A and B are shown apart, each in its own frame.
Chain A
Amino acid sequence: MRDRDGVTALLTIDGLTKAYPGVVANDSVSFSVRAGEVHALLGENGAGKSTLVKMIYGLVKPDSGAMRLGDAAYTPANPQAARSAGVAMVFQHFSLFDALSVAENVALGMESPPKMRALSAQIRKVSEAYGLPLDPARTVGDLSAGERQRVEIIRCLLQDPKILIMDEPTSVLTPQEVEILFKTLRKLQSEGTAILYISHKLEEIRSLCDGATILRLGKVVGTCDPKTTSARDMAEAMVGSALHVPQASPSPKGAIKLEVTTLDLPAKAEFGTSLRDISFRVKAGEVLGIGGVAGNGQDELLAALSGEALSAPHAVKLGGTPVGQLGPNARRKIGILAAPEERLGHAAAPDMSLTENALLTGAIREKLTRNGFLKWRDTEAFARRIIAGFDVRTPGPDNAARALSGGNLQKFVIGREVLQNPEVLIVNQPTWGVDASAAAAIRQALLDLAASGAAIVCISQDLDELMEISDRFAALNEGRLSVPRPTRELTIDEIGLMMGGAGDMDVAAPEVLA
């Protein structure tokens, strides 16, 4: 329909608008993707990327506007229609059955699956052709996150799509797995498949994508060529203002605050991870970054440090005092605070107001009770201090936690702990799903807290974040922690090896592909 550089666009989006009660998710969005182009969709959380791709994939119906696929009008009524038109999508959250094999899972997503043996052969063929090693007979429950993603990708590739939509595909991958994925995507690209790529990670987009459309508050605010635009410029276009880069003021490291010695903790939940022989120390003023692929013991480690899970008394010590047998409130009393990954339902109660959520962890250190009775006025004042101090966008402290956007709630949760002046703060995924400016603010708050003499343990799957704020880095792999090393000395390859637990790298090693 529309020409750009003399090449016909494969997918043309023209003036798509979708409004939800109270918010216009997409406001007359237009862009186009050529065959063989890897096109990035950039934007902060809530910019409207998800709504846009959901419309393209037939999950959401636009209020107005038109789409064209090739020369024909494209109005998918549902995902089946989108798939038969040649549009496939790999979601951020996988939809796979743990108990079934790879081939069975693939068959479940097909309209008319072939015989299992033929399908297995097909899967093997595609997985070899695209450099995605995968055994069709294996049970999905035993696969790593990277391998699960391959199942989803192969499921899409079997349909021979013209357009492949990928939503935050690298958030669960090790650097080596990311390399494998990128090789696959480049091969698809060379065959003429268009790829619509959503990611927060700007460096990835710079190395992979040919074009980018930037969304802010539901509108297209610009396009750019990621190969020639700096990550900082792209970030600022997304945010719409100059980006504040967190600055660590080099603080003299003090005495050892938190000491974990040979911490062993058997898994509680059925699919939980056991912690094995974990040892590390964090000094006052220091940030220890703990990386690793999701599901390798992050939640369990946070629980063992926060006091939600008890351990041997001497396995966890604060300033030399054993605290392994103390519950969460006893640990709060002496200064160990934590912010878990799951904002709604763990760090905060969704249906409770922000004031009540301020009470949730603040009752003891902020002295919000008297003889068991609640001091609501003081609690509300504390909530207001968090809201003001951490720029939480909300009409007021009476609002329910679930009414806040993810980023704002995260700022609230982190602010709640930081304002209580912890001796030790443990955070898990502090900026997960948070937009760039809020993430920068949260990281700065953590660095400031460290500068004031607190010890900080930051568990995260965002390597860029860990590289940015941590003094030392260690990786969790199947419940074991590598020896922490100074972050400055590490290369991305070494980090990848630490995350893979070394020796366990055959899955991702490129040699296997041949």
Chain B
Amino acid sequence: MITLVKRPTPSRLWIVLTPLVAVLLTMVAGAALFAMLGKDPIEAIRTIFWDPLFNPQFAAYSRPQLLVKAGPLILIAIGLSLGFRAGIWNIGAEGQYIMGAICGAAVGLAAYPIDAWWVFAAMVLGGLAGGTAWAMIPAVLRVAFKTNEILVSLMLVYVAENLLASMAVGALRNPEGGGFPGSRNLSQYPAAANPELIAGTGMHWGVVAAFIAVIFAYVILSRHMLGFQIRLTGQSPRAARFAGVNAARLILICLGISGGLAGLAGLFEVSGPAGQISIDFGSGYGFTAIIVAFLGRLNPIGILLAGLLMALTYIGGELAQFMLGLPASAIQVFQGMLLMFLLALDVLTNYSLRWRKRETA
């Protein structure tokens, strides 16, 4: 019989090892899944993990995609991780992402066709404000009325999606678009565009922002009082109260930061890779970022790596659908397995396994 024995202190080795073992187990279980679907498992795994980066036929297209996809995931996940660390659960990043895109794009579209450097700067502020404001709704409701921020933030995603649809066909619709839904294409309006900064890398301002966010979060968590208060509140709320942490202020700050970063991610997406406000702009980055945050162990560096890995499975998954005819749902199962293995192995950080003979009752 296997028993779990609590470790005196969390194992540093397993904190590092868990994600790696989880990826490995996911590959094994994924290979079995693909084999059952009648595909060559080795080839499927290679198509997902190897080809996007190193296959000369696809790499030219898919390598830049890695940063394009990882950028928003990392940016959003960093914001979420601060709240998650404090036990503040913002599940509605997708809504804040959409609201950031709408507000930022609205600023750019209002300025059209002015050609000045401040247009893009104003759009960034608009995106930041949109996401922050949307996250402030669950934050203020929780502080004032003790509502559950999980439910409120999640419900507001659906509100944001409907708002997006109405914007795409209403207020923000391209007046020169012949009545088709969708706004002007911001990427074709130079003052408002978020272009690829270095050709062939996929690097745009959103990716830069993501890297800055990683550094910012790392410094906050390890060297600033705010980070200490966040960690303390998450680990022992009562000790945090004793240490004088203002819980209401922390809720506002954490939801504000995560909403703001999600809004920024939306703005950079709508002005760059997506180009316009359209009905199907919401692509699920806000939800996937939750997985990325946990896959990265709520640690900034971990989230950076997890974001890249998640982006890889997206790109590789698409490639596998296209090349091997794997169903899209098989790819989603594959991504789900990754999170499941990670959470299941998580127990090893705080517990060690012992084999023990069954005791006679």
The answer to whether A and B belong to the same complex is yes
Give the interface of A toward B (CB within 8 A): 21-22, 61, 77-78, 306-308, 327-330, 332, 338, 340, 342, 344-352, 356, 359-361, 363, 369, 372-374, 376, 399-400, 402-403
Residues in A neighbouring B146, C-beta threshold 8 A: none
- Determine how close the nearest CB of chain B comes to the CB of A271; give it in whole angstroms: 16
- CB of B236 within 8 A of CB of A400, answer no
Is B243 interfacial (CB 8 A cutoff)? yes
- Determine how close the nearest CB of chain B comes to the CB of A200; give it in whole angstroms: 25
Highest count of chain A CB atoms <10 Å: which of B225, B240, B243, B360: B243
**Cα(A350)–Cα(B241), bound, Å:** 15
Residues in A neighbouring B244, C-beta threshold 8 A: 307, 327-330, 332
Residue on A nearest B219 in the bound complex, by CB? A373
Q: Which positions 212-244 of chain B face chain A at CB distance < 8 Å?
A: 223-226, 228, 231-232, 235-236, 238-244
Give the interface of B toward A (CB within 8 A): 5, 8-10, 223-226, 228, 231-232, 235-236, 238-244, 246, 359-361
**Cα(A117)–Cα(B123), bound, Å:** 77
Residues in A neighbouring B226, C-beta threshold 8 A: 372
Residue on B nearest A362 in the bound complex, by CB? B243
Residues in A neighbouring B231, C-beta threshold 8 A: 352
- CB of B235 within 8 A of CB of A374, answer no
- CB of A372 within 8 A of CB of B10, answer no
Whether A369 touches B225, Cβ cut-off 8 Å, given contacts A352-B231, A403-B9, is yes
Residues in B neighbouring A348, C-beta threshold 8 A: 239
Q: Could you list 19 further interchain pairs (A-B, Cβ under 8 angstroms) beyond the known A345-B238, A346-B239?
A: A21-B5, A22-B8, A77-B360, A78-B361, A327-B246, A342-B238, A347-B239, A347-B242, A349-B232, A349-B240, A351-B235, A352-B231, A363-B225, A369-B225, A373-B224, A374-B225, A374-B228, A402-B8, A403-B8
Give which listed residue, B223, B224, B235, contacts A352 with CB less than 8 A.
Answer: B235
Residue on A nearest B10 in the bound complex, by CB? A351
- Chain A to chain B: the 8 pairs with minimum beta-carbon distance, closest first: A329-B244, A328-B244, A349-B236, A349-B239, A345-B236, A400-B9, A360-B243, A346-B238
- Determine how close the nearest CB of chain B comes to the CB of A266; give it in whole angstroms: 18
- CB of B235 within 8 A of CB of A349, answer yes
Give which listed residue, A21, A61, A346, contacts B236 with CB less than 8 A.
Answer: A346
Residues in B neighbouring A77, C-beta threshold 8 A: 359-361
Q: List 27 A-B contacts (CB under 8 A).
A: A21-B5, A61-B359, A306-B242, A327-B246, A328-B241, A329-B243, A329-B244, A330-B244, A332-B244, A338-B242, A345-B236, A345-B239, A347-B239, A349-B232, A349-B236, A350-B236, A351-B10, A356-B228, A363-B225, A372-B224, A372-B225, A372-B226, A373-B223, A374-B223, A374-B224, A376-B223, A402-B8
Residues in A neighbouring B243, C-beta threshold 8 A: 328-329, 360-361, 363
- Determine how close the nearest CB of chain B comes to the CB of A80; give it in whole angstroms: 9
- CB of B228 within 8 A of CB of A359, answer yes
**Cα(A316)–Cα(B241), bound, Å:** 19
Residue on A nearest B243 in the bound complex, by CB? A360
Residues in B neighbouring A347, C-beta threshold 8 A: 239, 242
Highest count of chain B CB atoms <10 Å: which of A22, A361, A373, A376: A373
Residues in B neighbouring A308, C-beta threshold 8 A: 241-242
**Cα(A432)–Cα(B137), bound, Å:** 45
Whether A360 touches B360, Cβ cut-off 8 Å, given contacts A347-B239, A372-B224, A373-B224, is no
Whether A346 touches B242, Cβ cut-off 8 Å, given contacts A352-B232, A372-B226, A374-B223, is yes
- Determine how close the nearest CB of chain B comes to the CB of A38; give it in whole angstroms: 32
Residues in A neighbouring B238, C-beta threshold 8 A: 342, 345-346
Residues in A neighbouring B242, C-beta threshold 8 A: 306, 308, 328, 338, 340, 346-347, 360-361
Residues in B neighbouring A346, C-beta threshold 8 A: 236, 238-239, 242
**Cα(A356)–Cα(B240), bound, Å:** 12
- Determine how close the nearest CB of chain A comes to the CB of B247; give it in whole angstroms: 11
- Determine how close the nearest CB of chain B comes to the CB of A113; give it in whole angstroms: 21
**Cα(A276)–Cα(B320), bound, Å:** 71
- Determine how close the nearest CB of chain A comes to the CB of B226; give it in whole angstroms: 7
**Cα(A337)–Cα(B323), bound, Å:** 67
**Cα(A402)–Cα(B239), bound, Å:** 14
Residues in B neighbouring A376, C-beta threshold 8 A: 223
Residue on A nearest B352 in the bound complex, by CB? A21
Residues in B neighbouring A373, C-beta threshold 8 A: 223-225
- CB of A360 within 8 A of CB of B239, answer yes
Residues in A neighbouring B225, C-beta threshold 8 A: 363, 369, 372-374
**Cα(A332)–Cα(B235), bound, Å:** 22
Residues in B neighbouring A328, C-beta threshold 8 A: 241-244
- Determine how close the nearest CB of chain B comes to the CB of A20; give it in whole angstroms: 9
Residues in B neighbouring A400, C-beta threshold 8 A: 8-10
- Determine how close the nearest CB of chain B comes to the CB of A414; give it in whole angstroms: 14
Residues in B neighbouring A332, C-beta threshold 8 A: 244
- Determine how close the nearest CB of chain A comes to the CB of B154; give it in whole angstroms: 29
Highest count of chain A CB atoms <10 Å: which of B10, B225, B235, B244: B244
**Cα(A402)–Cα(B238), bound, Å:** 16
**Cα(A345)–Cα(B243), bound, Å:** 11
Residues in A neighbouring B228, C-beta threshold 8 A: 356, 359, 374
Residues in B neighbouring A342, C-beta threshold 8 A: 238
Residues in A neighbouring B246, C-beta threshold 8 A: 327
**Cα(A359)–Cα(B361), bound, Å:** 49
- Determine how close the nearest CB of chain B comes to the CB of A270; give it in whole angstroms: 15
**Cα(A77)–Cα(B236), bound, Å:** 37
**Cα(A134)–Cα(B236), bound, Å:** 39
**Cα(A369)–Cα(B238), bound, Å:** 22
Residues in B neighbouring A363, C-beta threshold 8 A: 225, 243
- Determine how close the nearest CB of chain A comes to the CB of B223; give it in whole angstroms: 6
**Cα(A308)–Cα(B247), bound, Å:** 12
**Cα(A349)–Cα(B10), bound, Å:** 14
Residues in B neighbouring A78, C-beta threshold 8 A: 361
- Determine how close the nearest CB of chain B comes to the CB of A160; give it in whole angstroms: 24
Residues in B neighbouring A61, C-beta threshold 8 A: 359
- Determine how close the nearest CB of chain B comes to the CB of A273; give it in whole angstroms: 17
Residues in B neighbouring A21, C-beta threshold 8 A: 5
- Determine how close the nearest CB of chain B comes to the CB of A325; give it in whole angstroms: 14
Residue on B nearest A368 in the bound complex, by CB? B225
- Determine how close the nearest CB of chain A comes to the CB of B9; give it in whole angstroms: 5
- CB of A350 within 8 A of CB of B360, answer no
- Determine how close the nearest CB of chain A comes to the CB of B24; give it in whole angstroms: 27
Residue on B nearest A309 in the bound complex, by CB? B241
Residues in A neighbouring B10, C-beta threshold 8 A: 351, 400
**Cα(A347)–Cα(B232), bound, Å:** 12
